[in-house]
Homo-oligomer: A and B are copies of this chain.
Amino acid sequence: MSLPRVTVWNEFIHETEHDSVRAIYPEGIHGCIRDFLKAAGHDVQTAILIQPEHGLTDEVLDSTDVLIWWGHVAHHKVDDEIVERVWRRVVAGMGLIVLHSGHASKIFRKVCGTPTGFLRWREAGESEVVWTVEPSHPIAKGLGPNFVIPHEEMYGERFNIPAPDELVFLGWFEGGEVFRSGCTWRRGRGKVFYFQPGHETFPIYHQAEIQQVIKNAVLWAAPQDEIQPGTEEVSFTPAPPVMALRDTGFQAVEGLHDKAE
């Protein structure tokens, strides 16, 4: 089985505007993530906000098994039509990994159904300890009971997400807060993972444990079958009975109105 093909999306603004961020990520956060996933053997593409269609054309998505999303200050600049397109791919089977400030992105809000922008935050360079709650989860493979991020932006509860299907990691912050830092959900046939670490002013995506989690998550989120967007619509045709149906005395009424969205 060949490895999942990944597309890394980044709004790519901080890196162009701040020397301090560019010093950490000279080719952008997406460049850093691309590099360690390529080294792990994946086919990796990148896409950024200012490209036509934000770089997320049908052609790009056709060759994407797992999409990674990083955004922060420009969530509102992402076109609703592209968000809808990405969402349709997710529910058809494409994996989605949302990183850090992507919690407030349109695509994450859409798959969650809650105002996921809401959480506590504080930028003070404090340390975070990430704890593994489900050591047997594929996304925790190779990780120990905990690891430390020396400097991180604080994200604290209550994080306004639906209860995750699986809670994999919890985060502890110096100033007294906790966070559900690694969470999974299924949406349609697609798997979604949110991972909290990753502020742009700290070299977090260079840290070995963080890269391990993202590599694990890519393998976990990959679709197990070929993605076939739109094929689920077949269920809208009236279903013939699986077993013989007695004569109910009713005229079967079928397909009078379109139930499709």
**Which residues of A line the B interface, CB within 8 A?**
72-73, 75, 91, 93, 101, 104, 109-115, 117-127, 129, 131-136, 138, 141, 145-146, 148, 151, 154, 156-158, 160, 162-163, 165-167, 170-178, 180, 185-191, 201, 223-225, 232-233, 235-236, 238-243, 245-246, 248-250, 252-254, 257, 259-261
Contact = CB atoms under 8 A, between A and B. Distances in A.
B186 A136 contact: yes
Contacts of A186: 134, 136, 162-163
Contacts of A239: 120-122, 154, 156, 175, 177
Contacts of A122: 238-241, 252, 254
Contacts of A190: 136
B91 A124 contact: no
Contacts of A180: 133, 170
Nearest to A257: B73
A176 B174 CA distance: 8
A24 to B, nearest CB: 14
Contacts of A163: 134, 165-167, 186
A224 B138 contact: yes
27 contacts: A91-B114, A91-B115, A114-B188, A117-B259, A118-B233, A118-B235, A121-B239, A122-B239, A123-B252, A126-B241, A129-B176, A129-B243, A134-B163, A135-B225, A136-B224, A145-B157, A146-B176, A146-B242, A160-B232, A162-B186, A162-B187, A163-B186, A165-B166, A167-B167, A174-B241, A175-B240, A177-B241
Contact of A131 (B157, B224, B261): B157
Nearest to A246: B174
Contact of A260 (B117, B141, B171, B254): B117
A115 B170 contact: no
- Of A126, A145, A172, most buried by chain B (CB within 10 Å of CB) is A172
Given A141-B224, A224-B136, A115 B151 contact: no
A174 B245 contact: yes
A228 to B, nearest CB: 11
A178 to B, nearest CB: 5
A165 B125 CA distance: 34
A133 B133 CA distance: 16
